[in-house]
Structure 1
Amino acid sequence: MADEKYHKNTVSNILQGGAKYLFLFFICLIAFNSNAAEFCNITPLNSQSSPSYLQLNTTSKLQAKRGANQFQLNCLLEHGGVLSFLRPGVDGFTWQQNGVTKQPLKSAQVAFLMDSGSFSAIITIESKLNYTPRFKWQDTKIFFRETQQHNLIMGAFYGLCITLIFYVLIMGHRLHDKIFKLYSAYIFCIGSFILLQEGQLYLFIADHVSSLLFDLYLLSIGLTVLSATWFMCALLELNSSWPKTSKVLKIMASIVMCFCLIKILFNNTLVWQVAGNIMAYGSLTIVTVIFVLSAQQARKGIREASLVFVALSLVLVSMIFRVLLINQSPFMQRYGFILAFAVESFLLAVAVSRRISRMRIAQRRAETEADYDHLCGILNRRGWGKKSAGLIEQHAKKGGVLCLMYIDLDDFKQINDNYGHAVGDEALCKVAASLKSIVRTSDAVGRLGGDEFVVLAHFYTKAQVNPKTHHLKTELNTLTITHNDQPISIKASIGSSVFSEPPKNIDEILKAGDTAMYHEKLQRKVKPLTLVDG
């Protein structure tokens, strides 16, 4: 009895376990069938190629030849989807399904919404050149999400390009440097090239202008190579370091531009093939040579050369994938250029900003030097006029009085004639140093030229004026210099004019001061030992 009971339990356990595993098997089979139910294959009708099975979210490597290409698409989809392919090089396309022409989605790339269920469609592509369409089957939600993300990123890139163009143009206009204009032209060309390649314009315009946009795309390639070559030669100072090499590079860039125009003008297979090879390998050669030269210039210590070297290394890698390793990486084929040029634009923007900073410093230094009298170390006529204009404006806002002291050295010509110009220069420097020590930093002290000096000061009351002018006259008329152990006295006639109302301009101030100084000089001739307050 025990054996019989044990036997029944064993059989029961086996049946229960078998049922469990059988249930799991059917679940797996159903899941497998549900996944296997969705498929898409695409077959070229112009060649004997076998059908290519499209994998979800994976690009196909099918080739399209120049001219008309037909592909038969067979799909069984549970939830529908989107089929997309690259737009550059496409002259026209149609989707025929059940005798009806389906309209494409508004998208940067060519994209069609696919129905759920089983269907067959004929896709016709008119191509201007041999190219890889990169057919891609995607889930509808994933397609729209990735498209929005891509357009957002590209919008940011175009915004960066536009900002750089206007910023550099404005700075170039202010600093009068042609490199900024060349950089603006280069950024405009590369931005246009990527815009036409990525197809964002098709979000706003009709598909029937695709032929015109492709011609503009070819033109943008030539202009990008041309502007980049001119800009790099100027930025890396190749025109002076390697003038012959720079000239050859510019000639090569011009040749690339010419063959771009040839492709636009002539619709011939052989011409297109030859022109395409010259454009591709010519551009790669130019980038490679400039890359090597940027390394040489970086070793020489040329400013910004190291940044250009890093930027060009990225562009060179993307060019290699675009020209030599065409079908090795679809990602690098499409996005390599965009990433490389985005990073390059940033690095070149840093290089240009450094150049702007240096030029601003140099400009300020030049302006400062232009405003100063290098012999005496005080403002010259130009610099004194600038500072005096500020004091006049301050007087107009805050009130008070302005006082001009006009100084002319007495018998200065005799010092030059008797002791030489070196001693005369020493006398001028002595007067300038004395004026700087007497006046305030807010006052404008300068040398108009020769032996004439001026001081313009702002006071809040007239009572402050006379003590200051008297002190200045006393100090200047006690100055001496020594030549061969012999003291030489320095005397000066000082005329002062006080303005309670804001003067109209600098000339009015100088005219009044000059008149007061000559009045002082005449009185000194009559009473040479008397200091007269003007």
Structure 2
Amino acid sequence: MKYPIVKFIACLFLVLTYTNLFAATTNNACKIELIVNGQVTATEQLTLNVDSQQLMPSGSNKLKLTCSLIEQSVFGFNKDEILDVIWDKNSSNILQLPASHPSYLLPSGNFSVLFTIDTHTKSMQQIYWQDVAIYLNDSLVNNTTMGAFYGLCLTLILYVFFMGRTLNDNRFQLYSVYVFCAATFFLLQEGQLNIVLPNHSFLLSHQLYLIFAGLTVFSATVFIVRLTDLHLTWPKTSHYFLTPSAALALAFSVIIPFLEHNAIGSFFSQLMAWLTLLIMLVILLLIAIQSFRKVAIARLVFLSLLLMVAAMVFRIAFHDFNPFLTRYALIIAFAIEAFIFAIAVSSRVKNINLQKIKAEKDANTDALCKVYNRRGWDVKANALLTQHKQGAGILSLLYIDINDFKIINDTHGHDSGDKALIIISKIIKKQVRENDIVGRIGGDEFVIVGLFENEKQANNLAHRIKTRLSSLTLRIQGAADISASASVGQVKFSTSPASVTAMLDLADKSMYQAKREKKNERQGNLQID
């Protein structure tokens, strides 16, 4: 046998390890006794590193812990219904740890300690007894995870708030308020403030926790209603049910802390929870209808609300089904919802920008001919004039007037006249370059302004326009062909003019000069004939 000494040491190590583990398991023992109204109602032998659940009635209860330990361990509670935990400090030398939930370092030896626990509602209380190393690892993982969650919430709050300030849309501020209230609610529920502010009783109190629960419900309702325009689509439902119900839930959250730990307080707590679930279900139904109607961002909101409703169902109706889901389902659902809402907000920003661009385009575009109107053309022409002042080149302006357009309207009708203008505008757009600016500034008057490298390029464009518009035969569907022509005036500037208005005045005079010349030419031809 090769290396017998190595195998012997390995076997000895394994035997000693399992022996120590067995000894630790058999020599460490803890049991709990629940005492209600002076009577022991439940007794349970705890298992190290295995969580236990104990059903506790509302009000003040006593829990007796009896242990026989050969090494230190940690005992604690993990449920947000606890208002306060007091222990008999004279009975043993256990030490309370700075933790998110009531946690105590148990010493080695034999001892008993009595805890007084105040709960607001009848609930299944989770109790844990763990090795110190496992407890520290679980605490590190939980606090790191929750820290990342709070960081996400803070990022969303700041991003959306300042985005709303930039766009001047209070829906974004409402979202920031909602995320702030929800993040604070979870912060109070998970108890991280107990670590950094152990002596600030109000900040750690159940009263503040409930108030932020109500604020979360109210702010979420108002935000979702405004984000999805439910107040416009279903004004009566929003005005007479959703908003008042959310306000009522907020009122419950303020009233409940002042009630004693009795059946009345428990009833109002359950009523608040079910009212919140009802509000979410109604909103979910309305958003589902909007999704069916293909309303913008409705599907994203529906998906996020579906997750939240599922989490609330676990928390309210199946709170004893799974401790992990009871504690973390709502947090996970909210984190996903916050991310989805961030996408929805971004989509909303995109839609708002597109709407602004479209509105700006519509305000600057001639609805009939799809070229710039007077307002839009002035803006673009002034920008081109500024560019010319800063550089070189030839600035050229063409002023186009349709000859005898009134006769076309009187003879063929205004509908045919409008169709003739559309055809002429298309002809003009085909002749110009991509950077040239075409506008309709009057009923039958068009203008073109462009910046050219030299005078020859400017003259070439003017020649193309004059030649193409000198004689037209416009074929109007369902009507007789229309003969038309246009007079074109041109002005060119190597030195920038004072203003666009000055350019237009000179171009207008040039156009009328061209119109007179063409009229004189026609009269001369008639006299020769």
TM-score by length of 1: 0.79
1:498 is matched with which residue: 493, 497, 507?
Answer: 493
Letter in 1 for 2:147: G
Query: How do 1:434-445 residues align onto structure 2 when only pairs under 5 Å count?
Result: 434-445=427-438
2:254 is matched with which residue: 255, 261, 269?
Answer: 261
> How far apart in 2 are the matches of 1:333 and 1:369?
53
Query: How do 1:369-448 residues align onto structure 2 when only pairs under 5 Å count?
Result: 369-388=362-381, 391-392=384-385, 394-395=387-388, 399-417=392-410, 419-448=412-441
**Residues 165, 492 of structure 1: alpha-carbon distance in 2 compared, 3 angstrom cutoff:** farther
In the TM superposition, what is the alpha-carbon distance from 1:218 to its structure 2 partner? Answer: 1.0
**Residues 411, 478 of structure 1: alpha-carbon distance in 2 compared, 3 angstrom cutoff:** same
Give SS of 2:54's match.
coil
> How far apart in 1 are the matches of 2:465 and 2:212?
70
Q: Does 1:84 align with 2:76?
A: yes
1:513 is matched with which residue: 485, 501, 504?
Answer: 504
Query: How do 1:241-260 residues align onto structure 2 when only pairs under 5 Å count?
Result: 244-246=236-238, 247-260=240-253
Give SS of 2:126's match.
coil
1:194 is matched with which residue: 169, 186, 204?
Answer: 186
Do the aligned residues in 2 keep the contact of 1:311 with 1:347 (CA within 8 Å)? yes
> How far apart in 1 are the matches of 2:472 and 2:176?
59
In the TM superposition, what is the alpha-carbon distance from 1:455 to its structure 2 partner? Answer: 1.6
In the TM superposition, what is the alpha-carbon distance from 1:436 to its structure 2 partner? Answer: 0.8
> How far apart in 1 are the matches of 2:34 and 2:285?
44
Task: Give the stretch that moved more between structures: 429-438 or 294-303.
Answer: 294-303
Task: Give the stretch that moved more between structures: 518-527 or 185-194.
Answer: 518-527
In the TM superposition, what is the alpha-carbon distance from 1:441 to its structure 2 partner? Answer: 0.8
**Residues 257, 375 of structure 1: alpha-carbon distance in 2 compared, 3 angstrom cutoff:** same
**Residues 465, 288 of structure 1: alpha-carbon distance in 2 compared, 3 angstrom cutoff:** closer
> How far apart in 2 are the matches of 1:368 and 1:314?
40
In the TM superposition, what is the alpha-carbon distance from 1:228 to its structure 2 partner? Answer: 3.2
1:404-448 residue CA offsets vs partner (Å, 9 max, x unmatched) = 333344554454455543344244334422321221011111112
2:129 is matched with which residue: 137, 155, 177?
Answer: 137
Which residue number in structure 2 is paired with residue 41 of structure 1? 31
Which residue number in structure 2 is paired with residue 338 of structure 1? 331
In the TM superposition, what is the alpha-carbon distance from 1:514 to its structure 2 partner? Answer: 2.0
Letter in 1 for 2:502: K
In the TM superposition, what is the alpha-carbon distance from 1:94 to its structure 2 partner? Answer: 4.1
**Residues 385, 56 of structure 1: alpha-carbon distance in 2 compared, 3 angstrom cutoff:** farther
Do the aligned residues in 2 keep the contact of 1:77 with 1:117 (CA within 8 Å)? yes
In the TM superposition, what is the alpha-carbon distance from 1:264 to its structure 2 partner? Answer: 3.8
1:62 is matched with which residue: 49, 54, 75?
Answer: 54
1:3-49 residue CA offsets vs partner (Å, 9 max, x unmatched) = xxxxxxxxxxxxxxxxxxxxx99998876433211122333455422
1:464 is matched with which residue: 449, 457, 460?
Answer: 457
Which residue number in structure 2 is paired with residue 21 of structure 1? none
Q: Does 1:147 align with 2:139?
A: yes
Which residue number in structure 1 is paired with residue 208 of structure 2? 216
1:457-506 residue CA offsets vs partner (Å, 9 max, x unmatched) = 122234433333344344334445478767544232424241535x77xx
**Residues 394, 142 of structure 1: alpha-carbon distance in 2 compared, 3 angstrom cutoff:** farther
> How far apart in 1 are the matches of 2:95 and 2:24?
30
**Residues 290, 452 of structure 1: alpha-carbon distance in 2 compared, 3 angstrom cutoff:** same
**Residues 153, 391 of structure 1: alpha-carbon distance in 2 compared, 3 angstrom cutoff:** farther
Do the aligned residues in 1 keep the contact of 2:28 with 2:67 (CA within 8 Å)? yes
> How far apart in 2 are the matches of 1:471 and 1:351?
51
Letter in 2 for 1:191: A
In the TM superposition, what is the alpha-carbon distance from 1:334 to its structure 2 partner? Answer: 0.8
Do the aligned residues in 2 keep the contact of 1:96 with 1:102 (CA within 8 Å)? no
Query: How do 1:350-365 residues align onto structure 2 when only pairs under 5 Å count?
Result: 350-365=343-358
1:148-173 residue CA offsets vs partner (Å, 9 max, x unmatched) = 22222223323333333444445556
Task: Give the stretch that moved more between structures: 152-161 or 411-420.
Answer: 411-420
Task: Give the stretch that moved more between structures: 156-165 or 168-177.
Answer: 168-177
In the TM superposition, what is the alpha-carbon distance from 1:85 to its structure 2 partner? Answer: 2.0
> How far apart in 2 are the matches of 1:496 and 1:25?
105
Give SS of 2:200's match.
helix
Task: Give the stretch that moved more between structures: 244-253 or 95-104.
Answer: 95-104
> How far apart in 2 are the matches of 1:239 and 1:162?
28
Do the aligned residues in 2 keep the contact of 1:97 with 1:120 (CA within 8 Å)? no
Task: Give the stretch that moved more between structures: 280-289 or 88-97.
Answer: 88-97
**Residues 482, 514 of structure 1: alpha-carbon distance in 2 compared, 3 angstrom cutoff:** farther
**Unaligned ranges ≥5, structure 1:** 1-23
Do the aligned residues in 2 keep the contact of 1:96 with 1:123 (CA within 8 Å)? yes
Aligned sequence identity (%):
36
Task: Give the stretch that moved more between structures: 513-522 or 374-383.
Answer: 513-522
Letter in 1 for 2:28: E
In the TM superposition, what is the alpha-carbon distance from 1:333 to its structure 2 partner? Answer: 1.7
Do the aligned residues in 2 keep the contact of 1:495 with 1:514 (CA within 8 Å)? no
Give SS of 1:457's match.
strand
Query: How do 1:283-322 residues align onto structure 2 when only pairs under 5 Å count?
Result: 283-295=276-288, 297-299=290-292, 301-302=294-295, 304-322=297-315
Give SS of 2:33's match.
strand
Task: Give the stretch that moved more between structures: 272-281 or 116-125.
Answer: 116-125
Letter in 2 for 1:110: P
Give SS of 2:441's match.
strand
> How far apart in 2 are the matches of 1:280 and 1:473?
78
TM-score by length of 2: 0.80
> How far apart in 2 are the matches of 1:366 and 1:225?
36
> How far apart in 2 are the matches of 1:33 and 1:441?
88
**Residues 495, 152 of structure 1: alpha-carbon distance in 2 compared, 3 angstrom cutoff:** same
Which residue number in structure 2 is paired with residue 281 of structure 1? 274
In the TM superposition, what is the alpha-carbon distance from 1:376 to its structure 2 partner? Answer: 1.2
1:97-133 residue CA offsets vs partner (Å, 9 max, x unmatched) = 4578866433322323333444444444455555555
Letter in 2 for 1:33: A
**Unaligned ranges ≥5, structure 2:** 1-13, 522-529
Task: Give the stretch that moved more between structures: 113-122 or 338-347.
Answer: 113-122
Give SS of 2:440's match.
strand
Do the aligned residues in 2 keep the contact of 1:408 with 1:517 (CA within 8 Å)? no
